[in-house]
Amino acid sequence: MKKTLAFLLMTVMLITSIGFAAAEDKETVQVAYLLAMNAAEERDLVQDAVNERLAELGYDFEIEFVCIDFASWATQINLMLTDGSIDLFNACFMSSISVLADQGSIEPVDELFAEYGQGILDALGDYIDCARVGGVLYGAPKVNAFSSALMFLMDKDICDELGIDPQTITDFASLTEALKVVHAAYPDMTMIANGNGGDYMDTFDTDLLGTSDPLGALMLAEDSTSLTVQNYYTSDTFKNLLSYVKTWSDEGFFMKDPLNAQDGSMAYLSNGQAFGSFVSYSDEATALSVQEKAVGKDLYAAQITQDAWATTSNVNGMTWCIPALSEHQVAATQFLNLLFTDADISNLVCNGIEGVHYVVTDEGNITFAGDLNPVTTGWPSGMGTFWPNICITYPWAPDAADVYDNWLASNETCMKSPALGFAFDSSVVSDEVAACSTVVDKYIAALLLNIGDTDALYQSLIDELDAAGINDIIAAKQEQLNAWAAE
């Protein structure tokens, strides 16, 4: 009897030890997460829920969130790419995927996606090609409304008080007149908020040809079918913008000491210090859908440019990539595929835990649980657009349950650049790109905020770009674009 009990005890201990070993042997996929709403105090709670779902589905890996503050995102990700400590990340607010590919920082994923990422390919359709560099696939753009037009977001209550109809604001001229009215009533309020470093406006009506900078671009508003690469900084589009910038500065529309702004531009709308700021979205409804939740107040959106354009840079600006040094590339691909296809996992990462962070309404959308809001919730609800596929999740009230259907529909009906799918391989002019980027960084904030002698600064910008090799970049882009078009 004693021998039998001893044998059973040894068997239980062996089985238990095998179970512990199996748990310890699970791969851990390190997934970078951008902290922009709050500190995500309950990240472990959400992480555990995701891992529980992975276990239910039979996967033998777990994930771990690596939360990084917005201000240090690019720096920290680049460091992690050099030591292999990250397995999956969103290449937003940093170098373009063409630069990351040229550096050897990210893994080509054609074979990985063919074997483990069919859901990714199905979700993106032809737009997947926007993550190709030199014909090689380097990641998966997040599912989104891929087209972009320049919008101006503004405080709804102030507009209603002053009788400003956002539908009458259709270009820079009509926007300027509206801002004069608001500024007269609220002289101490910033009219046009900017973010950290003075940034407040993306390029518009422009195809950057798969890069994150306009060092050679197609000017879409000037000719919607042309494949001629131009210098953005000598274009009529940029010169016209600078003329309005001078007016805005003379009228006192900009922030005091704008170069020392510490927050994103939307934060100044949220706290009431600013009336409005520029954003880029496919349409006004989508801009409001995303930004009203983040700002926490009612807004109006006015579309400033005539058309919303889908370009490679619009599509691949938030591409999910797998680092070349990752030791868990298969598991990372499998998890990325689930983020595109599994509604339970997508709702967890986008919205948090049902009943804890949100509740589902009878209308099929969601609201915060209890008295939570984007600031106090322990998981940054409202940052769902960071993740690969928000379109399979619950939308936040007041958005209707089918709001994301409209996003997907816009991808079929929007204006498409004649170079959609082309991404420039910058390796042939990497020195020139670095030199020209340094020149742009030197002048662009002052020019777009009208600080100093901007006429002289503009001429210096053009002269120094010429000396730094911008024409070589334009020629290289043109050569590759011609070859791509021929194929």
pLDDT given at position 380: 84
pLDDT given at position 21: 43
pLDDT given at position 2: 42
As a whole number of angstroms, the distance between CA 80 and CA 94 comes to: 13
What's the mean per-residue pLDDT of the chain?
A: 91
List, by residue range, all CATH 3.40.190.10 domains of the chain: 26-143+318-348, 147-314
Buried b (16+ CB within 10 A) or exposed e, 361-373: eeeebbbbbeebe
pLDDT category of residue 376 using cuts at 50, 70 and 90: confident
pLDDT given at position 96: 85
- Say what the pTM is: 0.80
pLDDT given at position 24: 57
CATH class of the domain defined by 147-314: alpha beta
As a whole number of angstroms, the distance between CA 351 and CA 357 comes to: 7
pLDDT given at position 341: 98
pLDDT given at position 19: 45
pLDDT given at position 184: 98
Neighbours of 212 (CB within 10 A): 20
pLDDT given at position 18: 42
- The string of pLDDT tens digits covering residues 18-76 is 444 444 579 999 999 999 878 899 999 999 999 999 999 999 999 999 999 988 999 99
Q: Using DSSP, state whether 282 is helix, strand or coil.
A: coil
- The string of pLDDT tens digits covering residues 218-251 is 999 877 889 999 999 999 999 999 999 999 999 9
> How far lies 224's CA from each of 211, 236, 396, 416, 472, in Å?
19, 15, 36, 9, 24
What is the mean pLDDT of the segment spanning 88-95? 93
pLDDT given at position 65: 97
- The string of pLDDT tens digits covering residues 125-173 is 999 999 998 889 999 999 999 999 999 999 999 999 999 999 999 999 9
**Scanning the structure block, which residue is given the tokens 């007016």?**
247
The answer to whether residue 181 scores a pLDDT higher than 70 is yes
pLDDT given at position 5: 42
CATH superfamily of 26-143+318-348: Periplasmic binding protein-like II (3.40.190.10)
- The string of pLDDT tens digits covering residues 322-362 is 999 999 999 999 999 999 999 999 999 999 999 999 999 99
pLDDT given at position 301: 97
The answer to whether residue 321 scores a pLDDT higher than 70 is yes
Q: Using DSSP, state whether 213 is helix, strand or coil.
A: coil
The answer to whether residue 110 scores a pLDDT higher than 90 is yes
What is the mean pLDDT of the segment spanning 163-185? 98
pLDDT given at position 13: 44
